[in-house]
Chains A and B, each alone.
Chain A
Amino acid sequence: MNRIVIKNLQKDFMTLRRGRIRALQAVDLKVDPGAFFVLVGPSGCGKSTLLNIVAGIEKPTAGEIWIGDRQVVSVADKRFLPPRRRDVAMVFQSYALYPHMNVHRNMAFPLKIAGDSEEEISRKVHAAAETLEIKDLLDARPAELSGGQRQRVALGRAIVRNPRVLLLDEPLSNLDALLRTSMRAELKRIQRRMAVSTIYVTHDQTEALTLGDRIAVIKDGLLQQTGSPDDIYSRPENRFVAGFVGTPPMNLLDGGLMEKSQRKVKIDDIEDFSRTEIGLRPEHLRITTPDKGVWRAELDLIAPQGSDQMLYLDLSGRQIIVKTDASRKFIENKAVGIDFDPVNLYVFDKKSGRRIR
């Protein structure tokens, strides 16, 4: 088990049209030994670049990375270990299976490159195939496999040599929804059993919350917040994290609305809401009779989701989503009241986006 430490990492790309582009900026991260660490952010935020740098496929512009007690890259010390000397394994969104090799040879490839003996290779490949339940597929070519099976083979090729670090770049994104959910659970089980330090990149915040022991939210090359799934969900540090995590997303509204309420809501430490933005999670909002709520709004649309339903409200031109139990009956285009417990109110500084409360 190896700790991964990333210090002050920066990556610039030079482009002809736009000049220097900063893909990563002063990224500091620690992944505990054996932890399942998830990097989540919108596409183009630099998360895959970060993963590539850890793998050694790309070189950083500044900063250093340690895997265990070994420094694998440091710009200041002019040190760069190529991927083969880092002992990391990686699974790609496209699976990147070698099309001209059968499953057995795909999984054997890293071992063969490392110079293992034939018996050793065969033993390890079969053991990994056993773990992933793909023993019947060893003779098949990648083209003959389904998406889920390819996914397993890609994972098998990664774990077959028992790497120090496992890197996963959106490995479930190409699977259909049902398969994705079941693979998610299996992935976590395998990771636990192998106890390998893992960095998992995804744009799907649900996936991040389900899988991660710890989560880092990244946007435009800047780390927004690092913490446990609960930290990220319940105590977002800024407006971006608050709005990014959660389905449906948090309702972010202008702070001025607090002055226009039907009923005064008492918030201890904030007097003036004019320079703030407020956030309320859909599940923290309650529907009341029109006159009793904090605000009065119109029920625009009802979207049932099995056990729950999403209510889209129109609050003087702004949309608010409320999540309620499906058993409650509402009628569209009727006035309703919105109420909430002040404890659940998030307040952000309008300018910096930082959470005040």
Chain B
Amino acid sequence: MNETRLQWILKALAALVLPAFCLLPFGWMLLVCFSRQPDFLLPQVDFAPTLQNLVDVLTDPSLHLMAYLRNSLLVSAVSAAAATFFAGLSAYSVTRLRFPGRILIPLGVLAFSMFPQISIVGYLFKLMASLDWINHHAALILPYTTLGLPLALWIMISHFAQIPVDLDKAALVDGASRLQILFRIIFPLAAPGALSTVLLVFIYSFNEFLFALMLTTDYTARTIPVGIAMFEGLHGQLPWGHVMAIAVVAILPVLLIAAVFQRRIIQGLVQGAVKG
């Protein structure tokens, strides 16, 4: 066997095995979701697909799936927008204004983002309890925004740094204020970067489990990841078909976003890194 052929085989293996490895759980999830006897610990011999599990979870009001979904979308969207907005303000001052030690801001933010999240759980709970925010959307939006900020800040900085400072100067001389410059010049030009920032924080918030588990008590604020986890406990047995059906529903929004904006996410991430 010659070398090019070996290379080809290795590449093909990498291209097939890695995605297969990542997608296997999803495949299983789909399988169970559409199965009639969804006991996924036993091998099923006769697989006959059905939509019954999906229909059940979507129509049964006691499951509150729609409430969880709404909570998740709302909390994630607000957190993503807020994190990107504040990161934008910060990135602007770090890349544009001259003040001593400005590099310490992104470095400090990066340092804080490396603390394990579990370490703030106790204090966060007390804070939310004293604010009377437990089981409110705000209890999740605040930490999600905060925890999304470091990533958002670094992406925004890398994008803002690509925009020539001459544009700021020109706009200043044209009579614009700093805020007008930010919203009329910088943000529109950094739109791909801002979009990828929004999406990444959105996905992070959508997946978050720990804080959502701790800070919500029922469907008024509970998000989908916690909803799925709590699902088992509610009923005596483990209705795997329903659990997996909910998981499928939960994946859909993120999948949809990724499919629609896939090119722009990659564009935004790469653009900030290498070219202007």
Q: Which residues of A contact B (CB under 8 A)?
A: 14, 52, 55-57, 82-84, 88-90, 92, 94, 96-100, 109-110, 113-114, 157, 167
On chain A, the residues within 8 Å of B176 by CB distance are 84, 109, 113
B180 and A94 contact, CB distance less than 8 A = no
The chain A residue with its CB closest to the CB of B167 is A96
On chain A, the residues within 8 Å of B27 by CB distance are none
B166 and A92 contact, CB distance less than 8 A = yes
Which 3 pairs of residues, A with B, have the shortest CB-CB distance? A84-B175, A96-B170, A110-B174
Interface residues of B in 127-155 (CB under 8 A from A): none
B175 and A113 contact, CB distance less than 8 A = yes
B169 and A114 contact, CB distance less than 8 A = no
24 contacts between A and B (CB under 8 A): A55-B173, A56-B173, A57-B172, A82-B172, A83-B173, A83-B175, A88-B173, A90-B170, A90-B173, A92-B170, A94-B164, A96-B164, A96-B166, A97-B170, A98-B167, A98-B185, A99-B189, A100-B188, A109-B171, A110-B174, A110-B175, A113-B175, A113-B180, A157-B174
Whole-angstrom CA separation of A92 from B172 in the bound complex: 13
On chain B, the residues within 8 Å of A52 by CB distance are 169
Interface string of B164-199 (1 = CB under 8 A from A): 101101111111110010001100110000000000
Q: Which residues of B contact A (CB under 8 A)?
A: 100, 164, 166-167, 169-177, 180, 184-185, 188-189
Which of B100, B167, B174, B176 has the most chain A CB atoms inside 10 A of its CB? B174
The chain B residue with its CB closest to the CB of A154 is B170
A89 and B173 contact, CB distance less than 8 A = yes
The chain A residue with its CB closest to the CB of B188 is A100
Known interface pairs A14-B100, A98-B170, A113-B174; 6 further A-B residue pairs with C-beta atoms within 8 A, sorted by A's residue number: A57-B173, A84-B177, A90-B173, A92-B169, A100-B188, A109-B174
Tell me the minimal C-beta distance from B180 to chain A in angstroms: 7
Whole-angstrom CA separation of A90 from B177 in the bound complex: 16
- The A interface is mostly helix, strand or loop, or mixed, namely mixed
- The B interface is mostly helix, strand or loop, or mixed, namely helix
Tell me the minimal C-beta distance from B105 to chain A in angstroms: 17
The chain B residue with its CB closest to the CB of A99 is B189
Whole-angstrom CA separation of A110 from B171 in the bound complex: 8
The chain B residue with its CB closest to the CB of A90 is B173
Whole-angstrom CA separation of A168 from B164 in the bound complex: 18
Tell me the minimal C-beta distance from B66 to chain A in angstroms: 39
The chain A residue with its CB closest to the CB of B185 is A98
On chain B, the residues within 8 Å of A157 by CB distance are 170, 174
Whole-angstrom CA separation of A97 from B184 in the bound complex: 13
On chain A, the residues within 8 Å of B167 by CB distance are 96, 98
On chain A, the residues within 8 Å of B166 by CB distance are 92, 94, 96
B185 and A56 contact, CB distance less than 8 A = no
Q: Which of B169, B175, B184 contacts A96, CB < 8 Å?
A: B169
B172 and A56 contact, CB distance less than 8 A = yes
Which of B169, B185, B188 has the most chain A CB atoms inside 10 A of its CB? B169
Tell me the minimal C-beta distance from B247 to chain A in angstroms: 41
On chain B, the residues within 8 Å of A84 by CB distance are 172, 175-177
Tell me the minimal C-beta distance from A34 to chain B in angstroms: 20
Tell me the minimal C-beta distance from B167 to chain A in angstroms: 5
Tell me the minimal C-beta distance from B275 to chain A in angstroms: 14
Tell me the minimal C-beta distance from B26 to chain A in angstroms: 39
On chain A, the residues within 8 Å of B100 by CB distance are 14
The chain A residue with its CB closest to the CB of B176 is A113
The chain B residue with its CB closest to the CB of A85 is B175
Whole-angstrom CA separation of A306 from B159 in the bound complex: 50
The chain A residue with its CB closest to the CB of B189 is A100
Whole-angstrom CA separation of A96 from B172 in the bound complex: 12
Whole-angstrom CA separation of A291 from B171 in the bound complex: 65
On chain A, the residues within 8 Å of B172 by CB distance are 55-57, 82-84
The chain A residue with its CB closest to the CB of B170 is A96
Whole-angstrom CA separation of A167 from B47 in the bound complex: 78
Whole-angstrom CA separation of A320 from B169 in the bound complex: 44
